[in-house]
Structure 1
Amino acid sequence: MLKKLFQSFRSPLRKPQQHVRTTPEVLSSSQHSLQRTQFSRYAVSIVERLQNAGYQAYLVGGCVRDMMLGITPKDFDVATSATPEQVRAEFRNARIIGRRFKLVHIHFGREIIEVATFRANHPQDDEDEDSNQSSRNESGRILRDNVYGTLEEDAQRRDFTINALYYDPVTERVLDFANGVHDIRNRLIRLIGDPQQRYKEDPVRMLRAVRFAAKLDFGIEKHSATPIRPLAPMLRDIPAARLFEEVLKLFLNGYAEPTFEMLVDLELFEPLFPASSKALEYNPTYTHTLISEALANTDLRVKQNKPVTPAFLFAALLWPALPARVLRLQERGMPPIPAMQEAAHELIAEQCQRIAIPKRFTMPIREIWDMQERLPRRSGKRADLLLDNPRFRAGYDFLLLRETAGEETDGLGDWWTDYQDANESGRRDMIRDLGSKSETGQGPRKRRRSGGSKRKRAGADASE
C-alpha cells in the first residue's frame, strides 16, 4: 500500500504549478462520466435556483472528485457568487453559521447542503479591516479567512488540484482550473500553488494531504511531499481543539492503518502524539504492532458500519507510552493501581496539550487502562464483579490487543475468554484453580482456543 502511495516521490521533478488558470478547462458532458442524477437532488435544486436568481452556482470539491472516482460522496457542497444573506433570502430552510467566515446550511429533513460564497486568498500583507490586525501570523499561517472573491479566486485558494473542480448540473459541464482531472486520472495529490507557502498558511494541509492519499489510494506528488518533513513541527502551533477534529478525520474514515504509516513516514506523528512517537523509538516492534492492530480493527468496524468510539482509539494510540511511566512510579514504591492511575493522568494531561481530547473520552480511556491492572486480580468474587463492570468488554478487548502485540500475560486473555463462556459451576472451578495455582505454583487447567477465535472477539465490542 505505502509503496503505491509514495511511488510519485521517486518520479522526475516537475516544476510545481504556481497558480491556477484564470480561464478553466471546460469539459463537456461527452468528456467526463458525471451525470446530474448521480448527485443529491437537493444540491442540484439549490444550484438551479441560485442560477435562476442570477447568481453563479456549482457543485464543488469532494463530491465532484469522488463521483469521478466512483465513490459515493458523504456530503454535497455548493459554491456560489451569492452572499450568505442572499442565499438565505432564496431559501426559507437556510441557516447562516459561522462568524469570521459565514456559511449557509440548507436543511432538507436530515440532509444538509452546505453553501459557501466564493472566497479569495488574503494578500501577504493585508490587514483585517474589522480589527486592524494582520490575517496572518509571523510564519505566514492564515488566522482569518473572511474575504469574498470571484469564481477564479475561489479555485485558486483551494488546497489541492483534485478539489478545484466545479460541476454545473444544468449544463453538465466541469470547470477544471488546476488540472485536477489530470491528477485524478494519474491518482496524485498535488497542492495548488507553492507547497511550502500553502503549508505555512495552514499546516493542517499536511494532514489533509495524508488523509486524501490514504483514503483515495493516491500518491503525493513530489513537490507537494518534499516540504512536509521540515515543516511538520508547525503542527505544534495549531490549536489543540482543531487537531482533535483533524485526528478523528484521519483515523475514523476507514483508512486509519495506512494513514498511520504515512504519518510516521512523513514525521507528522510526533507533533500529534509526542509520547507515543518516543515509544516507537525505544520499543518499535511492540508499539507499531499494537497501534497497527488497533487501527486495522477500527477500519474493519468502520467498513462494517459498526460504531467506533474515539476513547478506545486514543487508548491504543497512547498505551505504548504508559507502561514505562507506571514502572517508574512503582520503583518509587507506589502500588500498581495507584501507579497506573497517576501515570495515566500525567500522560493524558500532556497529550491534551497537543490534542484537546474531551473529558467524555479521557474518562473511558483511563477506565480501559485501569482494567488492565484489575483483570489479573480474579480471586474470590473479584472476577464476577469485573464481569459486571460496564467497562469490562472494552478492557477485555484491550487485553487481547496487548496480547496480539506480543505482551506476555500468562494466558490471561484465554482465561477471561473461557470464563465468559463457562456456566456457574465452571466459573467456580476456574476460581478454585487460581487458588490452587497460588498454593502449588502450578498453572490452572486451560481449555485451548485458537488464535483466530480470540482475534474475532478482540475487535467485537471495541466501541463500548
Structure 2
Amino acid sequence: MLKKLFQSFRPPAPSVHHIRTTPQVLNSGQHSLQRHQFSRHAVGIVERLQQAGYQAYLVGGCVRDLLLGITPKDFDVATSATPEQVRAEFRNARIIGRRFKLVHVHFGREIIEVATFRAHHPEDDEADSHLSSRHQSGRILRDNVYGTLEDDAQRRDFTINALYYDPVAERILDYANGVHDVRNKLIRLIGDPLQRYQEDPVRMLRAVRFAAKLDFSIERRTVQPIRELATSLRDIPAARLFEESLKLFLSGQAADTFEMLVDLQLFDHLYPASAYALEFNPTYTHRLIRNALVNTDLRVAQGKPVTPAFLFAALLWPALPMRAAHLQAQGLPPIPAIQEAAHELISEQCQRVAIPKRFTLPIKEIWDMQERLPRRTGKRADALLENPRFRAGYDFLLLRESAGEHTDGLGQWWTEYQELPDSERRAMIRDLAGRDEEAAAPRNGRRRRRIGGAEE
C-alpha cells in the first residue's frame, strides 16, 4: 500500500508547480486519443461553442481516463463562455450551483457538464469581509471568479486533471506536465500543496481516491502535508463528506482506499468512533471493515448493486459493542441497549458524515438483527426468515464471523436452516431447544455474551 503513498522508483518529473503560459501541444500523432472515443454530445457542445466564437475543450477525467485506456463515466467541457452564454446557446441547458456555478446540458439521460474557465481568487479585502470568498482558514467558500484558459489550468487540483482536448483540432493542451504524470502514474498537486489543501481540504480525499482508483503513487510533496492538515476535514460540511464517502468506498477500490485513509490519518476525522475501535480492538476491527470493503469491491467489479446502508453498518459496527455493553451494565436489556447505543453512535457520526435517514434506518435494523438471530426457538426462526432485513442481517452475521468473531456456529446454522424443507427445520428447532435453549434466549441479562468481538 505504501507504494501508492509516495513516489518510488520513478524518474524525477520536471517542475510542475507553476503552470506554463504556453502549453505543451500534443498533436494527433503524439497521443492516442480520437474524437470518436468521446461522447458525441460532448463533442457537439465543444464544436458549437467554438463556432459561436468561444474557446471550448473536453477536460479532466475523461481525457485522463482515455489516455489510460479506461472508459470514462462522465464527459466535462471547459469554456470561455459564461454560464449565461452557454445557456443561451443550448435550449436544453440548465444553470446549477451557487458555490460553483455550472451548466448541465441534457441529452435524454446523458448530462454533459459545462464549466466556465475559473481563475484563482484575489486576496480578499478586509473591508469587504462579509463578501469574502474565503474562510479565515484559507478554504474557498465561493468559486465563481472567471478567467482565462491558463488561469483555469492553474487552479485545477492535480496535473492529471489539467489536460484539455480539442476534438476539432484533435490535439491535447498540457499546461502542467499532466501527460508526463499520467505516463508515470503520479498524483501531483498543482501549486503549493499546503495552500491548495487549505483552500479545499477535500482535495486530500481526492488524492487518495485517485491513487486507489488509478493505482498511482502520490508524489512526495503532495502527500507530505496531509497528516498535518487532516483535522481541517472537520471544517467541511457533513453532507459534502457523505458524498465524498460514497465516491471513496463505491468506486471499486474501497479496500485500498481504506488502508490509505488510515495510513494518512484521514479516517480518524471521517469516522472517529471507528478509528478509536481500530486502536482498542485493531485486529477484529481492521479485518471486519476490510472484509466488508473487499466484498463491496467484488460486487462493483461484477456489476452487482451495492447497498450503502450495509457498507456504513460495517464501517461503524466495531464501535458499537462497548457502548452497548456499557448500557447493559446500567441495567438495559440487550436489544434496547443495542438500539440506544446505535442511536447515539449514528447521531454522533452524522455530525461528521451526514448519512441520510434512508440509510440510517436500515443500518439500525441490520444491527438489531444481530441480537435477534441467536433467538431461534419456537416460531422465532421462521418469523426472522420472513423479516425483510433477514438477508442483510444474515450476511452481516457472516461478515462478523469472517472477522474472527465466535458465534457458536450461528452462521452455519442459519445457512442450513434456509436450505432445508419445513419438516427438517422443525427438527433443527427441537434439537436446538434441547441443547442450548438457555444460551439462545438469555434471561435478566445475567449471561455474558460476545457481540462484535467484545464481551458484554
TM-score (ref. length: structure 1): 0.92
Distance in 2 (alpha carbons) for counterparts of 1:126 and 1:173: 40
| Cα deviation 1:292-335 (Å, max 9, x = unaligned) | 00001111111111111110000000000001111111111211
Distance in 2 (alpha carbons) for counterparts of 1:100 and 1:265: 31
| Cα deviation 1:208-263 (Å, max 9, x = unaligned) | 00000000000000000000000000001111011000000000000100000000
| Cα deviation 1:107-132 (Å, max 9, x = unaligned) | 11111111111111102335798x84
Equivalent residue, structure 1, for 2:284: 286
| Cα deviation 1:414-445 (Å, max 9, x = unaligned) | 00000000100010000001111037999xxx
Equivalent residue, structure 2, for 1:20: 19
Query: What letter is aligned with 1:102?
Result: K
Unaligned runs of 5+ in 1: 443-464
Equivalent residue, structure 2, for 1:449: none
Which residue, out of 170, 195, 207, partners 1:197? Answer: 195
Q: Is the 8 A contact 2:13 2:180 kept in 1?
A: no
| Cα deviation 1:338-371 (Å, max 9, x = unaligned) | 0000100010011001000111100000000000
Distance in 2 (alpha carbons) for counterparts of 1:108 and 1:437: 64
Unaligned runs of 5+ in 2: 441-456
153-162 or 300-309, which moves further after superposition?
300-309
**Are the structure 2 counterparts of residues 403 and 93 from structure 1 closer, same or farther at C-alpha, using a change threshold of 3 Å?**
same
- In the TM superposition, residue 30 of structure 1 has moved relative to its aligned partner by 0.8
Query: What letter is aligned with 2:45?
Result: I
Query: What letter is aligned with 1:194?
Result: D
Equivalent residue, structure 1, for 2:404: 406
Equivalent residue, structure 2, for 1:133: 131
109-118 or 3-12, which moves further after superposition?
3-12
Which residue, out of 256, 259, 271, partners 2:257? Answer: 259
139-148 or 161-170, which moves further after superposition?
139-148
Distance in 2 (alpha carbons) for counterparts of 1:127 and 1:146: 19
Equivalent residue, structure 2, for 1:344: 342
Which residue, out of 238, 241, 246, partners 2:239? Answer: 241
Q: Is the 8 A contact 1:13 1:223 kept in 2?
A: no
Equivalent residue, structure 2, for 1:424: 422
Equivalent residue, structure 1, for 2:452: none
1:55-454 → structure 2 map (5 Å cutoff) = 55-125=54-124, 132-438=130-436
Distance in 2 (alpha carbons) for counterparts of 1:228 and 1:439: 53
Distance in 1 (alpha carbons) for counterparts of 2:127 and 2:178: 32
Q: Is the 8 A contact 1:16 1:193 kept in 2?
A: no
Residue 322 of structure 1 aligns to a residue in which SS? Answer: helix
Distance in 2 (alpha carbons) for counterparts of 1:377 and 1:245: 37
**Are the structure 2 counterparts of residues 189 and 140 from structure 1 closer, same or farther at C-alpha, using a change threshold of 3 Å?**
same
Query: What letter is aligned with 1:79?
Result: A
Q: Is the 8 A contact 2:5 2:223 kept in 1?
A: no
**Are the structure 2 counterparts of residues 82 and 12 from structure 1 closer, same or farther at C-alpha, using a change threshold of 3 Å?**
closer
Residue 246 of structure 1 aligns to a residue in which SS? Answer: helix
**Are the structure 2 counterparts of residues 100 and 268 from structure 1 closer, same or farther at C-alpha, using a change threshold of 3 Å?**
closer
- In the TM superposition, residue 172 of structure 1 has moved relative to its aligned partner by 0.5
Distance in 1 (alpha carbons) for counterparts of 2:14 and 2:38: 35
- Equivalent pairs: percent with the same residue? 77
- In the TM superposition, residue 102 of structure 1 has moved relative to its aligned partner by 2.1
Residue 101 of structure 1 aligns to a residue in which SS? Answer: coil
Q: Is the 8 A contact 2:335 2:368 kept in 1?
A: yes
Q: Is the 8 A contact 1:11 1:222 kept in 2?
A: no
Distance in 1 (alpha carbons) for counterparts of 2:238 and 2:226: 20
- In the TM superposition, residue 15 of structure 1 has moved relative to its aligned partner by 8.8
Distance in 2 (alpha carbons) for counterparts of 1:16 and 1:381: 71
Residue 258 of structure 1 aligns to a residue in which SS? Answer: helix
**Are the structure 2 counterparts of residues 346 and 199 from structure 1 closer, same or farther at C-alpha, using a change threshold of 3 Å?**
same
Residue 4 of structure 1 aligns to a residue in which SS? Answer: helix
Distance in 2 (alpha carbons) for counterparts of 1:441 and 1:53: 77
Residue 113 of structure 1 aligns to a residue in which SS? Answer: strand
Q: Is the 8 A contact 1:10 1:222 kept in 2?
A: no
Q: Is the 8 A contact 2:95 2:102 kept in 1?
A: yes
Equivalent residue, structure 1, for 2:48: 49
Residue 94 of structure 2 aligns to a residue in which SS? Answer: strand
Q: Is the 8 A contact 1:126 1:135 kept in 2?
A: no
9-18 or 135-144, which moves further after superposition?
9-18
**Are the structure 2 counterparts of residues 155 and 109 from structure 1 closer, same or farther at C-alpha, using a change threshold of 3 Å?**
same
Residue 106 of structure 1 aligns to a residue in which SS? Answer: strand
| Cα deviation 1:140-163 (Å, max 9, x = unaligned) | 111111111111101111000000
Residue 416 of structure 1 aligns to a residue in which SS? Answer: helix
| Corresponding residue pairs, total | 440
TM-score (ref. length: structure 2): 0.93
Query: What letter is aligned with 1:431?
Result: I
Distance in 2 (alpha carbons) for counterparts of 1:80 and 1:126: 29
| Cα deviation 1:385-405 (Å, max 9, x = unaligned) | 000000000000000000000
- In the TM superposition, residue 193 of structure 1 has moved relative to its aligned partner by 0.1
Query: What letter is aligned with 2:232?
Result: M
Residue 168 of structure 2 aligns to a residue in which SS? Answer: coil
Residue 57 of structure 2 aligns to a residue in which SS? Answer: strand
Distance in 1 (alpha carbons) for counterparts of 2:398 and 2:378: 23
Residue 261 of structure 1 aligns to a residue in which SS? Answer: helix
